[in-house]
Amino acid sequence: MAATNLPLDADRLWSDVMALAEITDPAHPYTRRSFSALFLDGRAWLARRFADAGLAVRIDTAGNLIGRLDGADPSLGVIAVGSHSDTVPSGGRFDGVAGVATGLEVVRALRDAGVRLDHAIEVIDFLAEEPSEYGLSCVGSRGMVGALAPGMLELTEPGGETLREALRRVGGDPDRLAAARRDDVRAFLELHIEQGVVLESQSLDVGVVTSIVGIRRIEIVFEGAADHAGTTPMALRHDALVAAANTVVGVRRVAEQLAAEGSEHFVATVGILTVEPGGSNVVPGRCRLVIDVRSTNPALTQRFVETVECDSAACAAAARVARASLVTLSDGPPVACDPMLRDVLRRCARELGLGETDLASGAGHDAAFMTRITPAAMVFVPCRNGKSHAPEEWADREALAAGAAVILQAVKTLDRSLPR
């Protein structure tokens, strides 16, 4: 495709993404963890850019940074575009930021073209989309849809600060969370890098997301006995790591079976495993692991969880340890993107001469929560080798501009076509 003659400024969009990437922990590029000082630096920079673009800037009670441009007809509600500016540790430059910068560029491109929408437009930087130090992801989008339960505010980071305190610290108001709940959003659009290889391998410009996987996170703790590694005979051990390792092996086997069954997206990962006390000469007394299960089909997730519950109990018994706990940390169901918005995005892509395809999202996104209060849809842009959540994460300048142009066209189309 030719990314020339796009109705926006590809360089301006690109320079925003690169500028925000500079606001990182220099020892671990690219790291801008939610609630951190760097995160607040990034948001201060974004707020200035929002204001420069003529947006009225505020932080809602759920801690979302919002830039708003009123529409010509105050009765019509809001078209919202956004994503998030926080990152995973040692993450990339695009995951999240690309979608926020797209929203900003859409507003500037409309202004440059002298277009004033009938609807208000809001650019949203959702708070803490990535799993935060408080053990929760999508904090801001949960808040915006009324799904940030009071109990979640009592979650604590390792230093002991509650999410309630942290939310207040970044400008939110945990005592007035209901005020963040919206009923005036008529459409939500989010651009994001694909984080997979489908678009790249098929040389396509954009993916229009059909549905977003459900994500369930399960924590298992095994407790054995931290005995001396030299003097405790093999037959008398209570080795928590042996139970955990067998569980990891089982998770992989079952996940491969379910993934191979059909066309539904299914993956499961053990990304966290800790061993205590963690000395070379001590039999592991305690192991904690976290399983991340994702599927577009809740029935597959349910079958997986039932098998792992059974398997992990058997692994514990075989290693003579206790499965001290098996807890569901979070459980978000899969959600479908809005068919009408998907149709608009596909048509806009084709009008711009771009190659597009339908795609399921294996990653969770703020858009998944936004479907609870408004029609929502997503545009994916290709990223190199499918790499994400890593410093080498990369999307080309033209690819990003093409995706943003689809969002821009869709915003203009929706402004005319949304039910009034």
Q: Distance between CA 416 and CA 340 in Å, rounded?
A: 14
Distances (CA, A) of 5 to 10, 115, 353, 396, 401: 10, 18, 11, 17, 11
Quick one: which segment of 9-17, 44-52, 209-217, 396-404 binds its own copies (CB under 8 A)? 209-217
Smallest distance, its own copies to C-beta of residue 206, A: 16
Per CB under 8 A, 298 contacts its own copies: no
* Alpha helix (H) residue ranges in 233-297: 240-261
Bridge partners of 69, per DSSP, are: 121
How many whole angstroms separate alpha carbon 58 and alpha carbon 73? 21
Evaluate whether 308 touches 254 at the Cβ level (below 8 Å).
Answer: yes
Among 309, 362, 396, 397, binds its own copies (CB under 8 A): 362
Site residue total, its own copies (CB under 8 A): 67
Report 57-96 residues binding its own copies (CB under 8 A). Answer: 88-90
Which residues, 104 to 143, sit near its own copies by CB under 8 A?
Answer: 130-131
What CA–CA distance (Å, rounded) separates 312 from 297? 23
What's the min distance (Å) between Cβ of 251 and its own copies? 9
Q: Distance between CA atoms of 210 and 361, rounded to whole angstroms? A: 8
The residue assigned the tokens 């929502």 is 376
Task: Please report, as residue ranges, which positions from 214 to 243 form the binding site for its own copies (by CB under 8 A).
Answer: 215, 217, 226-236, 239, 241-242
Contacting its own copies within 8-47 (CB under 8 A): none
Q: Any residues with CB less than 8 A from the CB of 173 and at least 6 apart, and which?
A: 61, 167, 179
Q: Does 334 sit near its own copies (CB under 8 A)?
A: no
Asked whether 297 and 264 are in contact (CB, 8 A), the reply is: yes
Taking CB under 8 A as the binding criterion, the range among 33-41, 148-156, 188-196, 299-307 that sits at the site for its own copies is: 188-196
From the list 36-44, 152-160, 210-218, 371-379, the region that binds its own copies by CB under 8 A is 210-218
69 versus 218: smaller Cβ distance to its own copies: 218
What are phi and psi for residue 341, nearest 5 degrees? -65, -40
Report, in Å, the least distance between residue 117 CB and its own copies: 33
**Interface residues with its own copies (CB under 8 A)?**
88-90, 130-131, 194-197, 213, 215, 217, 226-236, 239, 241-242, 244-246, 248-249, 252, 255-256, 259-260, 266-275, 277-285, 290, 292, 294, 361-364, 386-390
